[in-house]
Each structure stands twice: as C-alpha cells, then as structure tokens.
Structure 1
Amino acid sequence: MHLIATFHTHFGAMSFQKKIERLGRNAGMMPVPRALSASCGVCVRFEGPFEPSMATDDLEAVYEDAPNGYTLLFEQPEN
C-alpha cells in the first residue's frame, strides 16, 4: 500500500522521510498532488502501513494513494 503524507513545513516532510527510512521502508519527497492540499507544497510518498503513533507535529494528513484516487486515512487534530 502506498501512502502520501502532507506537512505544514518542508522540514517536517524531510524529518518524516528519514523516520520512515529508518523503519526500513521506501520513502521519497515529491510535490503534493493537485488533488491534495498542504501548506508547504511537498509531501512524502511511502510504503504503508501508517500508525497514528508515527505522526509528528508537522504532519497534516495521510492518504492512501489508490488507482481510483486518494483516501484520507489520518488527519492531525487542530491545536
């Protein structure tokens, strides 16, 4: 399962990518798809699964990247 995580900052995206790679999974930064929105314009595409305990403060949302579109799996609560 491929997932896309969006972030409030570029630094948040870079930190999350490193965190996922330390777990032994493939992850890469890319521009946020037009169908999704994010404050910083970059996202991390990675191999799932995603657990809420993986969320960081800069994480905005996590979507499943499916052939028929994107499905919201997790959204960070507003502070």
Structure 2
Amino acid sequence: MHGEKTAGVYDLKGLNCPLPVLRARKRLAGMPAGALLWAETTDPLAAIDIPAFCQEDGHRLVRTERTATGHRFLIERG
C-alpha cells in the first residue's frame, strides 16, 4: 500500500485501556482526512479496543500487526 511507509508513528506503549484509544482519537482529530497513522501499543485490550474505536469513529483500520510486545495498527483518518 502506498503511504504506509510515510505514515506517522504514535507510541502508545505502556498505556492501558482506555488511554491508547483516547490518545489515538485526539491525535487523529488533528490530522486531515485520509492521513495515515501507525499506533503502537502494548495493552492486550488494544487488539479489541482500537478496531472498535475505528469503526465507531469512522476511521479505516488498514492493517493490524502483532509485535514482540503488543500490536501496531495502521489507521486511516476518516
């Protein structure tokens, strides 16, 4: 996918629910529609919370990846 490599990275590691979603929501609110953001988390609940947040707020979850310590989510601002 074009743009994945140029997407910003938001380090949300070490934060527990609901902070990853709240911070991702705030960061995305300041971005233009169509912008891409990688959100990196260590909270196991983020695997449920981030996709639900994207669906509720009208963002597109482009990709989810497992990492050694958690997950990475590529989110396209809706």
State TM-score, norm by structure 2.
0.43
Higher helix residue share: 2
Question: What is the TM-score of this pair, normalised by structure 1?
Answer: 0.42
Bigger strand fraction: 1
